Structure 1
Amino acid sequence: MTTDGHRSPCASDDPYALALRAGHGPVYLRLADGRRIAMPVHRWFAPPTVADESVLDRCVGPVLDVGCGPGRLCRALLRRGVFALGVDVTPRAAAHTVALGGIAVCRSVFDRLPAEGGWQTLLLIDGNIGIGGDPRALLRRCVQLTAPTGLLLVEADPEDVEEHGTARFEDAHGHKGPPFPWARLGAPALHRVAEDLALGVADQWVHGHRRFLVLGRRSPARRG
């Protein structure tokens, strides 16, 4: 997971940065309406789960992992012999990825990135469809980054939700980081956004409480 507004709001004492330093939570996403969502920091540092493996099995290289966090997915792909680059706006996340054997750059997805227009698979996992608070703008940018035959593998929120606003990271003691734009998108909303952007749903599946969709450009003959 990454934030991106489009720069990292995470100072060295931000709850998210501290959780990355420790390798565990608790750390929470506090939404503007007061709701608090626990972040699965333990999963970000653990080996890929069976649900993660279902994503990795669908990846064709080269792969760009947007909001890579500590890099569990891009590192797992490298171990499979699939080239993968992580990108994360939080310096500690990118540093963790590299230190643990992955490849990552510390940049916003909206910055200039390597091999633009050449990625065959782009990952938006762990809620990263919320990056920047505008899923349409994010998906447009991701389409720019992928090859004409490339695919976007997106994890949707398990709830049927479409929310846009601001959020903060918060620790167990209520210490909050700075606000940043964020969004939550369930599968029905993601279908609607994809349709608006002329993206087709090539695949979708559920594993436990997690939901995934594969999006790709629709051919001109199928549009309209």
Structure 2
Amino acid sequence: MSAPPAVSWAGAGPYAAALRSGRGPLFLRRADGWLLPLEVERWCARADSVDLAVLDRCEGAVLDVGCGPGRLVAELAARGRTVLGIDVSEAAVDHAGRRLGSPPVGRGQGTGRVLRRSVFEPLPGEGGWGTVLLMDGNIGIGGDPRALLDRVARLLGPGGLLIAETAVADVDERAEVQVVDGTDGGAGRGAAVGGGAFPWARLGTPALLRYAGRAGWRTAAQWSAGGRRFVALRGLPRSRPRASGRTRIASSSAEPPNSTALISSQRARKPSVDKPVADR
């Protein structure tokens, strides 16, 4: 089963405007008015200490699903890693591309690229990525965690690593949402110009571990830092043959799997989501 691309998110005018300005307010709004704040300022800033600790756990070449404005892609490329960021938003991909054009001075440059693409569409290097990142709540992409986990398993190389950021609350919910801004004077209902409703999911750590366990993933680590929560999942070696014609992505450094703990953002860039949702 595969989920469709979140075209409505890709065309959401409030999201593009927020990326241009580098600030919110911006929310995911459910049909009943329930709001989830999106951390635009953090996404548009450089990777923070919590992000950096996550990136320290990455192995091999990294695929950042829902990379948004590209803070993690830029940091990984500056570290000398091979990294591809994908997002459905043209504004996000443009922003990330500009970031990659200006790496931090004095640091080694890896191979960094961004593509406007959904995780459910064909991607470069399928079946050969060392790490797939689902940061900032991107485990919710497509509104079907089981379909997303199955897709990620096919993107990773045998025994590859998935690092996902989960909701702080113990939730397991799916809903149709819209991206809205705060143009109504702070009430939060705002405008959703250019984007309709699309499916989204919110998962806490217990819910993600349940889905992952049923799908055959092995839990490698789980932790909290800076008010955010993370899970690292290890894919099992595959017995099924890979589809022909797929290119294996070479690791940017020939390191063995990270033994300390395993643990970033397609055409559907999503919330950071470790904040409680506001009720309206």
TM normalised by structure 1 equals 0.92
Aligned to 1:154: 164
Structure 2: gaps spanning 5 or more residues: 101-111, 184-189, 239-280
Asked if 1:108 is matched to 2:107, the reply is no
* CA-CA distance at 1:33 after TM superposition: 3.3
Secondary structure at 2:63's aligned position in 1? strand
Q: Could you report, residue by residue, the CA deviation over 1:113-164 in whole angstroms, capped at 9, with x for unpaired residues?
A: 0000000000000000000000110110011000002100000111000001
Aligned to 2:76: 77
Aligned to 1:207: 225
2:43 partner amino acid: W
Asked if 1:181 is matched to 2:199, the reply is yes
Report percent identity of matched pairs.
Answer: 49
Aligned to 1:99: 98
Verify the 8 A CA contact 1:133 1:183 in the aligned structure 2.
yes
* CA-CA distance at 1:208 after TM superposition: 2.4
Question: Which one scores higher on RCO, CA 8 angstroms, separation ≥ 6?
Answer: 2
> What is the alpha-carbon distance in structure 2 between the residues aligned to residue 90 and residue 5 of structure 1?
15
Secondary structure at 1:9's aligned position in 2? helix
Aligned to 1:6: 5
RMSD: 1.6
2:122 partner amino acid: R
1:81 partner amino acid: G
| Higher helix content, 1 or 2 | 1
Q: Could you report, residue by residue, the CA deviation over 1:175-220 in whole angstroms, capped at 9, with x for unpaired residues?
A: 1241010000000000100011000110111002211011112469
Aligned to 1:165: 175
> What is the alpha-carbon distance in structure 1 between the residues aligned to residue 12 and residue 99 of structure 2?
22
1:175 partner amino acid: A
Structure 1: gaps spanning 5 or more residues: none
* CA-CA distance at 1:8 after TM superposition: 2.4
| Higher strand content, 1 or 2 | 1
CA radius of gyration, larger in = 2
> What is the alpha-carbon distance in structure 1 between the residues aligned to residue 45 and residue 171 of structure 2?
28
* CA-CA distance at 1:7 after TM superposition: 4.1
Verify the 8 A CA contact 1:119 1:145 in the aligned structure 2.
yes
Q: Judging changes above 3 Å, is the alpha-carbon distance between structure 1 residues 197 and 12 closer, same or farther for their aligned structure 2 residues? A: closer
2:196 partner amino acid: P
* CA-CA distance at 1:95 after TM superposition: 1.3
Aligned to 1:130: 140
1:24 partner amino acid: R
TM normalised by structure 2 equals 0.74
Aligned to 2:18: 19
